[in-house]
Amino acid sequence: MASANFKMVGVNELAVFMRKLPKQLDNPKVWGKIFRQNSKPLVAAAQGKAPNKTNQLVGSIGYFTTRASRAEGGGYVGPRVKGKFAKRDSAGNYYLSGYYGAFVETGDYRFGKGKATPFMKPAYISTKDLMVKNILVDGKKVLFKEAKRLAKFGTLGY
């Protein structure tokens, strides 16, 4: 049985790097940017599948965040109903809001049998593979970018 003598150089530095890297990558702003960029195909597909009688619902579909999703580093894609999308005209009617998007997606049972016209679920099904692939590619880019930054500046760059 032969024994091999070798010395591994840089093991400690690599261990320190791997311990520190998740802290730099676990930044909600970084992940929010990645998700916003990669949600564009889903937004476009949902806008294309939404019924556009007034274009109000189509115009309100987009990527948005909430306080809870910002804390986790994520977001939502769907009809927006708050902020500038909660505006009303002089007659009191909403003119930007997609507040009725859930009624269109699932049907409205309160006024008889409402006919559902799903647009978010088919859009998600048609784009989920593309989004996952793009998120993995962008995650890899971020990983290498953060590794390069950490190697150049150390922990002072954060």
Question: Tokens 């809870």 appear where?
Answer: 68
pLDDT for position 109: 65
Using DSSP bridges, classify how beta strands 61-64 and 76-79 pair: parallel, antiparallel or unpaired: antiparallel
pLDDT tens-digit readout, 81-136: 888 888 888 888 888 888 888 888 887 766 556 678 889 999 999 998 898 888 87
pLDDT for position 73: 75
From 136, 137, 118, select the one nearest 126 (Cα to Cα).
118
For residue 87 the two structure tokens come to 């505006």
Integer Cα distance of 150 and 157 in angstroms = 7
From 127, 56, 133, 128, select the one nearest 97 (Cα to Cα).
56
From 115, 99, 96, 119, select the one nearest 107 (Cα to Cα).
115
pLDDT for position 77: 92
pLDDT for position 49: 92
Q: What is the mean pLDDT of residues 7-21?
A: 58
pLDDT for position 126: 94
* Segments making up each domain of the chain, as ranges: 28-143
